[in-house]
Structures are given as C-alpha cells and as structure tokens.
Chain A
Amino acid sequence: MAMSDRSNAAKTARRNAPSANRLDLSDPDARINEMLGQVSYCYRPSWDPARSVIAAYLCVPMLPDGTSDAQRREAALIFGDDASAIEKLDVAVLRHAISVLEGLMRDKRKLLVTTPVHFETLAVAVHRQRYIEVLRTKLASDAASLLVIELVNVPDGVPQARLLEITSPLRAHARAVIARLRPETAEFGQFAGSRISAVGCDLSRHTGSETTMMQQMARFGRGAAKAGMATYLRGVRSLSLTTAALGAGFAHIDGDAIAANVDQPRGIVEFSLFDLYDSTTPKG
C-alpha cells in the first residue's frame, strides 16, 4: 500500500471508529461536527420534595461510549476540555432544550427545562455572545419563563463581579440561572447577589463512601443556607443519599434513586416521599 493510501485508510478508520476517543486535534472542526452529529439527548427528572412533584427536567447530551451504541455517557466527558468543542456542544444542547420547550408549550404543558452550559463557554466574551445570540434569536419570549440555565464547571473563587458579568445577560432570557459547584464547596458568599438563584452539586461520579457524601452534602447545605442560597442535588443513587439530601435541606433532587432519565419530558408527575419507598420501583 502506498504511503498516501495508508494515510487515507487511517483517516477513514478514525472516522469510522467508535467515539470514545477524545477529539482528534489534527482536524478539530470536522471531528467536532462528527461528534455533534452523534449526540443524543435525554432528560433527567428533578424532584421538588416540598411540592411533591417532578416539574423540571435537565437536558443531558449523550454520546456513544466505546464499542456499542447502547453504551452512552455524558457527551461533555468525551468532549474533554477543548473550549471550541465545548461551546458547540453547549449551543447544540441549548437548541435542543429550546426545541423541547417549544413542543411542551405547544401542548400547553408548563414544565421547566434546564440546559447546562459550561463556565468556560461563558467566560470567553466571543463564545458568550454567540451563546446569548442563540437565546436571543431562537427562544420565544414566553418560553424564557420556563428555561433554566445551569452553569457547570464553575471554578472555585470566581468573584461576584465576574459572576454578574456572566449571569446578567443570561437572566434576560431565562427564568433562572443556577450554578453547579463541587460537592466540597464551602464558600458561597460570592453567589449571593450574583443573580444566581440556586447552587447545587452532582454526586453521580463521586467515588467516595456514602458517609463522605453525606458529610459533604450536609456541609454544602449548611454553607449555602448561611449565604441565603437555595440548593439542589444531582445524581443521587440510593435511598440513603436521598433521605440525607432531604435532611440537608436540598430543595430539588435528581438521580436514579428518584427517577430514571427519559427521552422527553412529558408532564408534571406527582411524586411524594412515599413514592421513594414504592416497592415496585427498584431503587439504588
């Protein structure tokens, strides 16, 4: 085989390979677009225990993971830390969330849809402007009251002024802006007055013991309450973590222990504390 043929074959093999690999930076745009084409979406139901309902859904982009299409994982984990790729993913997720919101509104179903956006995307002015332009041009004004924007990968110690610079333009297009932080976060002062409505954390990839997780969520809940912030918790996978989250005062909770992801939000679901113990539903 000639050298150029081998090279072409290698490129073809890369294109056809499963998408578990991180981005091939030798041809980043093509690779990003290829990966974006493989993204599918699911929605994670979020429980409001005080109202005993599930009325909010988080849009989660997924990509094939490894050898099987049936095995999928969160796209952001596969996209890695390439800022341009992450921005395109964030925009794609936003567009999907908007399309789902529009469908819900057509059916006169008022559910909240949460779209995650990486702090990295909003931290760079040009990326932030492109993101806001999508909000401005694609989101109907009446749908804005049902859209929640969740900042993810928020680093520690971001000053309040910087947060305001990022959140202020978003608030014009959303019901609320919330921020997903590390479970270990202890300082919440900068989030009060930053136009962030709630702070939360995600336990789904936490590798510590349940005792550690419960200690962290108790600390997180206490610290956030001290700063006057509402809290939410993602990724609870057992009844024990769920009751601990309730005890720590988290206002919204999601994860497999509550309800499995769905292809599409369909309606408000009544869900009380009793439903957690429903013996017909396998729990974590």
Chain B
Amino acid sequence: MQKILVIDDNLVVRNTIVQILESEGYEVISAEDGRRGLYVFRSERPDLVVTDIIMPEKEGIETIRDIRGEVPDAKIIAISGGGRIGNTDFLKIARQLGASDIVAKPLDPDHFLDVVKNCLAA
C-alpha cells in the first residue's frame, strides 16, 4: 500500500484530504505544520507528500525545499488556496522551487486524485 503524508494546519482541510485519499485505498499519515511534517517524513519515508503553503512554524515551500534537499527524488504536491501577489503566486513558486505538481484549493477531489495518481506513477 502506498503511503502519503498530508501536511496542512487547517484541521478540516487536513481531515478532508485524508478521507479523500483513504477512500482510494492509500495509507495516509498527517502533520499540522512543516516542522512536524518534516519530522514525520524522516521517520515514515512516505511515497508522496501533499503540503499546504501557508502554515505556522515552517511553511510549505521551505518544507518542500528541506525534503527535496534530503531526498532529491521525493514526490511532493503543493496545495494552496490563496496568496496571489501581483502576477505571481505561491503555487507557481512552489513548482519552481521543488514541488512535483501543484493543486489549487478548494480541491476538486477527482482532479486531486488524478494528480496524486500521476505523481505516484511518475
């Protein structure tokens, strides 16, 4: 069974993502911020990480870069619902700085699962 780590500080969003993934048969573990997420990543070595961007303690892009620094071929999906700044945004930067793929919130479950499957198969 493939293992997925979900990192999001919003409990409702985190639980929703966990449910979506578990309904497809994935083993899912979760963390509430990047610092704890990194700790879980090191101990659990998941097949895929799904991380939010705006979080306390350690935000998502920094988390992606830390994971990528330790495991260069780690599979990581960045998710974010906001933060559009002028003509750029967090997800675009997350992609450029190490995310394998990106998904905007609110999540469309079907699209999200497609991205997850593609990322795991890559």
A interface, CB within 8 angstroms of B: 49-52, 209-211, 213-214, 239-240, 243-244, 246-247, 272-274, 277, 279
Contacts and interface: CB of A to CB of B under 8 A. Distances in A.
A261 B60 CA distance: 26
Contact of B82 (A49, A210, A247, A272): A247
Contact of A240 (B56, B83, B86): B56
Contacts of B54: 214, 240, 243-244, 247
Contacts of B33: 240
B3 interface: no
Contacts of A277: 61-62, 65, 93, 97
B55 A240 contact: yes
Nearest to A241: B56
Contacts of B96: 274
Contact of B85 (A210, A240, A273, A279): A273
A52 B88 CA distance: 11
Interface string B46-64: 0000000111111111100
B85 A211 contact: no
Contact of B57 (A240, A246, A279): A240
B102 to A, nearest CB: 15
A243 B88 CA distance: 13
B90 A243 contact: yes
B93 A240 contact: no
Interface string B24-43: 00000000011000000000
B101 interface: no
B9 interface: yes
Contacts of A279: 65
Given A211-B56, A244-B56, A239 B86 contact: no
A52 B93 contact: no
Q: Is the interface of A mostly helix, strand, loop or mixed?
A: helix
Given A277-B65, A277-B97, A243 B85 contact: no
Q: Is the interface of B mostly helix, strand, loop or mixed?
A: loop
A50 B34 CA distance: 26
Contact of B62 (A51, A239, A246): A239
A247 B83 contact: yes
Given A239-B62, A274-B93, A277-B62, A50 B57 contact: no
Given A247-B54, A274-B93, A277-B97, A239 B59 contact: yes
Given A273-B88, A277-B93, 18 more contacts: A49-B86, A50-B85, A51-B86, A210-B56, A210-B57, A239-B58, A240-B34, A243-B59, A246-B83, A246-B85, A247-B53, A247-B54, A247-B82, A247-B83, A273-B85, A274-B96, A277-B97, A279-B65
A246 B53 CA distance: 11
30 contacts: A49-B86, A50-B86, A51-B86, A52-B86, A210-B56, A210-B57, A211-B56, A239-B61, A240-B33, A240-B34, A240-B54, A240-B56, A240-B58, A240-B59, A243-B53, A243-B61, A243-B83, A244-B59, A246-B83, A246-B85, A247-B82, A247-B83, A272-B88, A273-B85, A273-B88, A273-B90, A274-B96, A277-B62, A277-B65, A277-B97
A116 B57 CA distance: 30
Contacts of B86: 49-52
Nearest to B81: A247
B32 to A, nearest CB: 9
Contacts of A51: 86
A279 B66 CA distance: 11
B27 to A, nearest CB: 28
Interface in B67-97: 82-83, 85-86, 88, 90, 93, 96-97
A209 to B, nearest CB: 7
